[in-house]
Structure 1
Amino acid sequence: MSVPAIARRLTAAAAVATAVVGGLALPAAAAGQHPSRPHSDVVISGVQYDSPGRDDNSNRSLNKEYVDVTNTTRRTVNLDHWTLTGRDGHRYTFRHFRLEGRATVRVHTGKGRDSARDVYQDRRNYAWDNNRDTATLRNDHARVVDQVAWGQHRGGGHNGGIGRR
């Protein structure tokens, strides 16, 4: 085989290899796949949207309504200025809070003393609708990090339990 023929074959092989590698390196959106949102290290791991027992607006009942936020990594995440919101616009903002690695913080609706495991919205009324609502966690840049919905718009009715995707 002549040198020019070998050079042509090597050039063709290099072009094919570049095309294959380039095609594999395309982002998912460019390849026609549309992920719902980027993977997050911090997630809403559970929602107790219907406080067990009678809904009497007592602080005890309000604090049995909560959202669990979990850090799935080993490293500490600074949640300062992150928000947790509902469909009706109510908002809880984390202030000076760092969530340790592999830890969960429970965001209670009522009043209480904040700790590493429990924080309180200090509300006097229930935050989450028992029949239909969406809890949205946003980072300090207002980007949606995670979202959990329950009720009729999620294909089911009221079940009174803990909601998760």
Structure 2
Amino acid sequence: MNNEWVEITNTTRDVINLRDWTLRDADGNCYRFHNIRIGSRATIRIHTGNGRDTRTDLFQDRRDYVWDNRSDTATLRDDRGRVVDTESWGRRR
């Protein structure tokens, strides 16, 4: 399951603390960030499976896949619940 991930890129010039931000799929599966900082113009991957968190890779420690290959939506919200970014693929039937 570590081959399934979502990438988040900080396109700003500032370091951003993602503490209490969330990443959610269309089915409501939710990953809450802890005290994670993402550097200016840096990218991190949030893997579905198990692993050891690093500066560039975080792991949800799930046993089942989260992201639907046919269609899904990834929504990133800040610590106040405001949508920061969303990405959708495929079509819902």
Q: What's the TM-score, normalizing by structure 1?
A: 0.55
How do residues 5-154 of structure 1 correspond to structure 2 at under 5 angstroms? 62-153=1-92
Which one has a bigger Cα radius of gyration? 1
User: Residue type matched to 2:65 in 1?
Assistant: Y
| Cα deviation digits, residues 100-152 of structure 1 (max 9, x gap) | 11100000000000011000000000010111110000000011110000111
User: Which one has more relative contact order, counting CA pairs under 8 Å at least 6 apart?
Assistant: 2
Task: Please give the alpha-carbon distance, in whole angstroms, between the structure 2 residues aligned to 1:75 and 1:152.
Answer: 35
| Cα deviation digits, residues 10-66 of structure 1 (max 9, x gap) | xxxxxxxxxxxxxxxxxxxxxxxxxxxxxxxxxxxxxxxxxxxxxxxxxxxx11100
User: Residue type matched to 2:40 in 1?
Assistant: G
Q: CA RMSD in A?
A: 0.7
User: Residue type matched to 2:33 in 1?
Assistant: F
Task: Please give the alpha-carbon distance, in whole angstroms, between the structure 2 residues aligned to 1:90 and 1:106.
Answer: 17
User: Residue type matched to 2:45 in 1?
Assistant: R
Gaps of 5+ in 2: none
Offset at residue 74 of structure 1 (A): 1.9
User: Residue type matched to 1:110 in 2?
Assistant: G
Higher helix share: 1
Offset at residue 92 of structure 1 (A): 0.5
Task: Please give the alpha-carbon distance, in whole angstroms, between the structure 1 residues aligned to 2:91 and 2:29.
Answer: 20
Which 4+ residue blocks in structure 1 deviate beyond 6 angstroms? none
Gaps of 5+ in 1: 1-61, 154-165
Q: Percent identity?
A: 54
